[in-house]
Amino acid sequence: MQLLLTYDVVTTTPEGRRRLRKMAKLCEGYGHRVQKSVFEIVCDDAELLTLLDGATRIMDASADSVRIYRLPANGFAAVHRLGVAEPVPHTDPLIM
Amino acid sequence: MQLLLTYDVVTTTPEGRRRLRKMAKLCEGYGHRVQKSVFEIVCDDAELLTLLDGATRIMDASADSVRIYRLPANGFAAVHRLGVAEPVPHTDPLIM
């Protein structure tokens, strides 16, 4: 499935900035960063559960916010992009 | 249609911070702010064109990024929310 993950992490404290870095690193393991706090993710149900678990462990649930939207099948291709937003090749091989 | 709009505006300059304020104000006219730079929007094709035009006029296309995703019919209801993310009553009357 195609998902869009967005997060707000409160970064007014060193601890918050640490959470932000960890959240970004977690999400980078699941998809493509298309904006500072927006990721396009292709995964299955099991991976989504693991992602949700990881995000829950990192975040401060009383301050931060994570939202994960399910997109339609052509969701990444149908996006309106303005400015420096670039299309992301989800089907290309991942260069490690 | 149900849309999710996300933006990145470079705020390292006073001009950038001004663009950010204008972008937020524009988007608030079309939908509900669910994170700092994420809006849930319900609109028709004509309103989407007006929104795209407004965003294009505000943004610096060489620095900023706006992305608008179309969600499935139940897109807002099916979101996974973690932390302080709250559901938004899109069908309730708007109190002015």
Note the pLDDT tens digit of each residue in B37-82.
999 999 999 999 999 999 999 999 999 999 999 999 888 888 999 9
The answer to whether residue A55 neighbours chain B at the CB level (below 8 Å) is yes
CA separation for the pair A65, B51 (Å, rounded): 26
Q: Which residues pair with B6 in a beta bridge?
A: B38, B67
- Confidence band of A93 (pLDDT split at 50, 70, 90): low
The answer to whether residue B52 neighbours chain A at the CB level (below 8 Å) is yes
Q: Which of A36, A56, A62 sits opposite B84 (nearest CB)?
A: A62
CA separation for the pair B36, B20 (Å, rounded): 10
Cα angle A77-A82-A84, degrees, rounded to a multiple of 5: 100
Pick from B43, B45, B11, B15: nearest CA to B27: B43
CA separation for the pair A79, A63 (Å, rounded): 29
What percentage of chain B carries pLDDT values higher than 70? 88
pLDDT at A95: 53
pLDDT at B90: 63
pLDDT at B86: 64
Is the pLDDT confidence value at A96 over 80? Answer: no
- Asked if the Cβ–Cβ distance from A59 to B83 is below 8 Å, we say yes
The overall average pLDDT reported for chain B is: 90
Number of Cβ pairs < 8 A linking chain A and chain B? 129
Q: Which residues pair with A81 in a beta bridge?
A: B67
Whether residue A8 is annotated as binding a ligand: the answer is yes
- Domain A2-70 fold is Alpha-Beta Plaits (3.30.70)
Is the pLDDT confidence value at A11 over 70? Answer: yes
Radius of gyration in angstroms for the set of CA atoms belonging to chain B, rounded to a whole number: 14
Is the pLDDT confidence value at A85 over 80? Answer: no
pLDDT tens figures, A14-73: 999 999 999 999 999 999 999 999 999 999 999 999 999 999 999 999 999 999 999 998
Asked if residue B65 lies in contact with residue B5, where contact means CB atoms within 8 angstroms, the answer is: no
